[in-house]
Structure 1
Amino acid sequence: MMKTKITLISAATLMSIVPLFALNNTAQAADNSVKKTVMHTAIAYDKDGNRTSQKYNAYSTVTVDSKPIAINDDQYYKILGKDQYLKTTNIDGVTRKITHNTYIYKSSSARTSYRGRWKLYRGETITTYGSSYKFKNGKSYFRVGGPRKQYIKSYNLGPVVNSDVESTSAVATVVRRAHVWTEIGPNKFENKLSDLKVGTKVLVDRLEYNRLSENSPQDEDTGMNFRYYHIKGTKNWISEEDVKVNKKVPFHNYNKEHYTYITFPKDTDVYNADGTIQDHNGQKISKQKGQLKVDKLVYIWVPSENKAELFYHLVGTSFYASTTPTAHWSTINVGHDAYVKASDVKFVYGVKLTPSNTAAEAQAAAQKNKLN
């Protein structure tokens, strides 16, 4: 059998851990509020996740409950004594990996330093706060520090790696023979280890909806696909249906944190990279409620309109057609370099993309190609 690490807990170790949990909980109960600095201008939400009219400016101080709570899969801090909740991303930030060597900026035309450095390199990680800003040059940037202005181009940053808001680990007890899945790549898993026996205890540090969840059965009570616990210090995962945990751990939705999804509220034309409409014998992508993945937001010059428009790049290549002259479910194949206008579709959830170029750059590229 392959000797892959699984974090197990002996009965003796568990006896020493449980009192520590109790001490921590007692301390929290005695004083469950902390002061936090808002790093990015934050809208307050109510307990149901609806926006309120209250806004908290960057670098203001707020008193919140020390432990964040989940509302609609997002993490929030509750303002002490108020029905107001602030997203943790505006306070603690999230971790992103730098994908291209990058400078730090204080404006669209001026650079600055960050912790004594003027340049950061691919492969490093950095904390960003809130959503991106669009500067005067039309490009988007994430705040990485303060109160001095410090920003990095969003183009040079990857999706969220993990949230900086993490609780301590939880003890998960196996209640039925549990499969162990090993992560062999980003969102890729194999069942390559022996099952865990009933009564086995493991340390878990997060709960996640991932590809395992998408292929798992649904819970009869909730109607939701099973989610999976990550075994701390390993690349291994176990289903939430197979264990009982002694406390909540952070919940993550892999798809929402790494991908971008749109839907088609109307029959939609498909475009090529040169701004021309694809010819599918009069058919378009049909109006639908399904959620389709996109991976890039870019300005493309549209010759027929004599202007640049924002487009999403489609990840899929086959879509339901708007008309079905020959079959009940006709499809059109759009190829691997197909785009739809951002104004024709609706963002559903996931990573909010920022344009990888400007309208002026798209126009200049089109004119250059025309001359060539």
Structure 2
Amino acid sequence: MKTYIGTSSQTSSGDIKMYYSIGNGYYINAKNVGLPNGPANLTIDHNSYVYNYKGQRKKAKTIKKNTTLEVPGEFEEINSPKKFYSEYLSSSGIKFVSWQKRHRFWLKYKTIHGKQYYRIGKNHYIKANNVRYLDGKPIYVDKKETTVVLKSGQQIVNRNSNRESGRYYKKGKKLVVDKYISTFRGYPDDFWFKTGVGDSVFYHVKGTKDDWVWGRVSEVDVKRHIEPVNVFNQKNTTVQAKPGITKAAIYNSHGEQEYDDKFLKTTNYNQAGYYPTVVKELKYIYVPSSKKVELFYRIKNDDFMQFFVNKEGKGVGSDPRINDFYVKAEDFEYVAGPKLTPVNTPAEAEKDK
């Protein structure tokens, strides 16, 4: 059976507080469950009339706001967005880092005279626009814009200049927004865009040049969510060390290892203190010590801090001399951002040795 507790409030991830009863007074958090194999359910946030298959209103009781209905049909996982759909999380199984993958799912709806309806019984339908949650999870729409309501007053942020504007929107202000972005650094594109207090997520106010508001659940109420975009991943390619590799030797453009006592500190999701490695180039280089051509990633510090360790893996701090260097690509795996292709060929690297 399912038991809904506190359906009027949301968790920091945007889900309502929903639990499954497993008997004897014990419950499990529905957030930790994927798609159920039992009856589908939906929760409405608006008093709803009942319609027939022709879209004509039936003589039936109005379904009250905040009602959760068990309805015919099953939730199905989908690869691409539908007009109305939702998402659930699957745990990555990672010990230290809390990130989860997004999975889209939907409940089939019927389009009548251009409007969508969910079937709730034999020849009984309600408008899809009155439904707020599918299986207790917020609904997304396949659109470029949505509406948010501010839960508290907010100072407008100008993201391009990275400054607060000095202008404010009042609590209760309703805004049409046309972009939802995250500035998470170096996480996969399927990373779940949490909306907790410490996360950098923003909505762009439609019709403005550079007005943004915080997108945290604690500060905005959103009935229909739109897909977020990771702006960091649009410009930067990030890699992570393969499991078990904690340091990478530093090479120069001639394939020579430059330091015996300094190595790039590498971390992956299986380690505490994960920090992505931003790479600028993929290049074949002839390595004199192995007498063969190998593939390397080029790393430039720029404004991305790199950390270094000694042979024993203990931190040695930053070094201003180590600003532009190479690491073997075989020690790393792609995480996010534009996929790089080698700037040269093995034959060209052999020729340039």
What TM-score do the two structures reach when normalised by structure 1?
0.49
- Which residue of structure 1 aligns with residue 317 of structure 2? 331
Distance in structure 2 (CA, Å) of the matches to 1:300 and 1:79: 52
Distance in structure 2 (CA, Å) of the matches to 1:220 and 1:70: 12
Distance in structure 1 (CA, Å) of the matches to 2:336 and 2:253: 24
- Which residue of structure 2 aligns with residue 228 of structure 1? 202
**Aligned with residue 315 of structure 1, among 300, 320, 328:** 300
**Structure 1 pair 273–78 and aligned structure 2 pair: CA distance change class (3 A):** farther
More helix by share: 1
Q: Does 2:149 align with 1:176? A: no
- Checking the alignment, whether the CA contact within 8 Å between 2:284 and 2:346 is kept in structure 1 is yes
- Checking the alignment, whether the CA contact within 8 Å between 2:251 and 2:258 is kept in structure 1 is yes
Shift of 1:80: 8.6
- Which residue of structure 2 aligns with residue 35 of structure 1? none
Distance in structure 2 (CA, Å) of the matches to 1:301 and 1:232: 52
Alignment of 1:206-285 (within 5 A): 206-210=179-183, 225-234=199-208, 235-241=210-216, 242-264=219-241, 265-279=245-259, 281-285=260-264
Distance in structure 2 (CA, Å) of the matches to 1:350 and 1:75: 20
- Checking the alignment, whether the CA contact within 8 Å between 2:262 and 2:308 is kept in structure 1 is no
**Aligned with residue 356 of structure 1, among 327, 343, 348:** 343
Percentage of identical aligned residues:
23
- Which residue of structure 1 aligns with residue 16 of structure 2? none
- SS state of the match for residue 147, structure 2? strand
Amino acid at match of 2:335: V
Distance in structure 1 (CA, Å) of the matches to 2:352 and 2:225: 52
- Which residue of structure 1 aligns with residue 289 of structure 2? 304
- SS state of the match for residue 195, structure 1? strand
Shift of 1:343: 0.3
- SS state of the match for residue 179, structure 1? strand
For 1:176-203, what per-residue CA distance to the aligned partner results, in whole angstroms no more than 9, with x for missing partners? 111211132xxx5211241111122221
Q: Which runs of 5+ in 2 are unaligned?
A: 1-50, 56-75, 89-99, 110-140, 188-192, 269-273
- Checking the alignment, whether the CA contact within 8 Å between 1:323 and 1:330 is kept in structure 2 is no
Distance in structure 2 (CA, Å) of the matches to 1:250 and 1:221: 13
Shift of 1:294: 1.1
- SS state of the match for residue 158, structure 2? strand
- Which residue of structure 2 aligns with residue 288 of structure 1? 267
What is the count of residue pairs matched by the alignment?
A: 216
Alignment of 1:190-209 (within 5 A): 190-209=163-182
- Checking the alignment, whether the CA contact within 8 Å between 1:310 and 1:342 is kept in structure 2 is yes
**Structure 1 pair 283–320 and aligned structure 2 pair: CA distance change class (3 A):** closer
Higher alpha-carbon Rg: 2
Distance in structure 2 (CA, Å) of the matches to 1:80 and 1:365: 60
What TM-score do the two structures reach when normalised by structure 2?
0.51
Amino acid at match of 2:207: G
**Structure 1 pair 181–166 and aligned structure 2 pair: CA distance change class (3 A):** farther
**Structure 1 pair 320–227 and aligned structure 2 pair: CA distance change class (3 A):** same
Amino acid at match of 1:288: T
Distance in structure 2 (CA, Å) of the matches to 1:205 and 1:221: 18
**Structure 1 pair 299–229 and aligned structure 2 pair: CA distance change class (3 A):** same
**Structure 1 pair 74–272 and aligned structure 2 pair: CA distance change class (3 A):** farther
For 1:257-310, what per-residue CA distance to the aligned partner results, in whole angstroms no more than 9, with x for missing partners? 32222223232111111111112x433223433322112111122222222211
Distance in structure 2 (CA, Å) of the matches to 1:358 and 1:77: 43
